[in-house]
Structure 1
């Protein structure tokens, strides 16, 4: 039997025959079409019981009309036999409740930034987004698992004047905004503009890539 801390690769996961699940970006992903919020809550409750019994806990998002489940062994940042076992149990629970899986609907969006050297800007982006920068050398991740991962693709030609086609807006509570701005500047960033404060601050990393720290204070709805 595979050790519970051994990270499994794509062929190994595929060989397990987890029809309800898809494996990418070092996680197992599943979506269950509950068709009602009540049925979704019932499924989540049963998943919670199974997770407690296994002492292994997935990331679960309940919305109408579906439940999304991600499985990863957080201590090794990958899929292990623990995740395979719990995935099977969750599929069994869904079948017992008459809930169908929708594996073709799962996806994960990552954002990539071309940089000449990621070490020069990674601390800034971790600070301004409030992300964890400890898991992978060239990647930072949302600590709560809700927002997109940002990774840095080293591109030696990404130098000189920045011609940025889009930038990120990170929206935070008003009481967090100035703290986040100070942290980003301390991590090597530049405060580009405060003209729209408290609606948003414009900052840039050491290569000139811009990001806005936004709040709801002073922002008008689109179209007004």
Structure 2
């Protein structure tokens, strides 16, 4: 099936978060996500069945990760030239939340996150084909710096352009995308566990942290107030 989207209906993360009726959802690096606690595998399966009846023609169906205690739902529109959120995603999110309330499933917004692997490169065209073939990934729509799992199961890879070689610094790091209202707590927990803050110069887009041996990771958010952030 070919999914279509109207450019006029595209939504930025902040627009999504400010829209009414989407309190259960958080925009992360890979779309809008919500976690619903159901309490049993049977209840989770019933919820998935109800969600399957909500998607209309021309809509990208949601990605659902079902577990016995609950399920995570992700919404994103993927076309040949767009990878992001639309008004239709927002409306579907509202309908899913309504079903959750009807079935007694509890939304836990703090329970969602996505993880991205970032590789620093000097010549992307010499590196990206290797990783595309190795991982069995494909290019992300309209973003030659990104590779994504075509099944949308595993972490995306982002290739960050460097101007000069960086000595004594790891060139592969993890980006952890968390809900905007969980970033400070996650950073504090990482620092309390032996990490350190490398820089907050890009906040509230992202913060760079490092472990005790200097291996870096970024905590990023979507839905900030301000311009488009840099990518770790």
TM-score, with structure 2 as normaliser: 0.65
Q: Determine the structure 1 residue equivalent to 2:102.
A: 96
Q: Does 1:120 align with 2:126?
A: yes
Give the aligned partner of residue 109 of structure 1: 115
- In the alignment, structure 1 residue 34 sits paired with structure 2 residue 41: no
User: C-alpha displacement at 1:77, in angstroms?
Assistant: 0.9
1:19-98 correspondence runs (5 A): 19-25=23-29, 27-52=31-56, 55-75=59-79, 76-98=82-104
Alpha-carbon RMSD across the aligned residues, in angstroms, is: 2.5
CA distance in 2, matches of 1:157, 1:38: 54
Q: Provide the rounded CA distance (Å) in 2 between the counterparts of 1:79 and 1:52.
A: 16
Query: Following TM superposition, by how much is the alpha carbon of 1:164 offset from its aligned partner in structure 2, in angstroms?
Result: 6.2
Structure having the higher strand fraction is: 2
Report Cα offsets for 1:175-220 as digits up to 9, x if no partner: xxxxxxxxxxxxxxxxxxxxxxxxxxxxxxxxxxxxxxxxxxxxxx
Higher CA-based Rg: 1
Pair 1:155-2:158 in alignment = no
1:31–1:102 contact (8 Å) kept in structure 2: yes
- Asked if the contact 1:116–1:159 (Cα under 8 Å) also holds between the matched residues in 2, the reply is no
Deviation at 1:109, TM superposition (A): 0.4
SS of residue paired to 2:32: strand
1:64 to partner: Cα distance? 1.9
SS of alignment partner, residue 85 of structure 2: coil
SS in 1 for 2:155: coil
Could you list the per-position Cα deviations for residues 35-61 of structure 1 after superposition, in whole angstroms to 9, with x for gaps in the alignment?
100000000000001124784411111
1:94, 1:163 → 2: CA distance? Answer: 46
Question: 8 Å contact 1:114–1:158 — kept in the other structure?
Answer: no
Are the aligned partners of 1:31 and 1:101 in contact in 2 as well (CA < 8 Å)?
yes
Q: Is the 8 A contact 1:4 1:81 kept in 2?
A: no
Check conservation: 1:32, 1:100, Cα contact below 8 A: yes
* Alpha-carbon shift at residue 7 of structure 1 (Å): 2.1
Aligned residue pairs, count: 165
Query: Residues 86, 149 of structure 1: CA spacing in aligned structure 2 closer, same or farther, 3 A cutoff?
Result: same
Report the TM-score when normalising by structure 1. 0.67
Higher relative contact order (CA 8 A, sep 6+): 2
Q: Contact between 1:4 and 1:82, CA under 8 Å: does it hold in 2?
A: no
Show the counterpart of 1:10. Answer: 13
Q: CA deviation at 1:155?
A: 1.6
Uncovered stretches (5+) of structure 1, i.e. residues with no partner: 168-224
Structure 2 unaligned segments of length 5 or more: list them.
174-232
